[in-house]
Amino acid sequence: MSSCPFCQSNLEEKKTICSSCNAKKGYLKINNFIFGKSLLVFFGLIVPFVIIFFAISAQNLFGVNVSVIMTLPILFAIWHLILGDRWMK
């Protein structure tokens, strides 16, 4: 058993939502939306890699600039995956 860091109620280990205070367990919170692992991998790794692929295939300076910029969300997603999931409200 673990406890919710906000309301201190007892929770099962696999639980991702606290039934007492509605705190959620996730990897990233943006505008009150909490990303789980699958959404973070999709929007933080897969989508930027696809954009980089098409930008590089353009073979111009704009494509290179887009590729460099799109490395930021990839690094951001990798960082949050390394940190692991945590409780958020």
Asked if residue 14 has pLDDT above 90, the reply is no
Q: Residue type for 52, please?
A: I
Mean of the pLDDT values across residues 4-30?
90
pLDDT of 35-73, one tens digit each?
999 999 999 999 999 999 999 888 888 888 999 999 999
Domain definitions of the chain by residue range: 25-88
pTM for the model stands at 0.80
In whole angstroms, what is the distance from residue 15 CA to residue 1 CA? 10
3-state secondary structure 21-47: CCCEEECEEECCEEECHHHHHHHHHHH
Contact between 31 and 15 (Cβ < 8 Å): no
Percent of the chain with pLDDT over 70: 100
Asked if residue 1 has pLDDT above 80, the reply is no
Contact between 44 and 77 (Cβ < 8 Å): yes
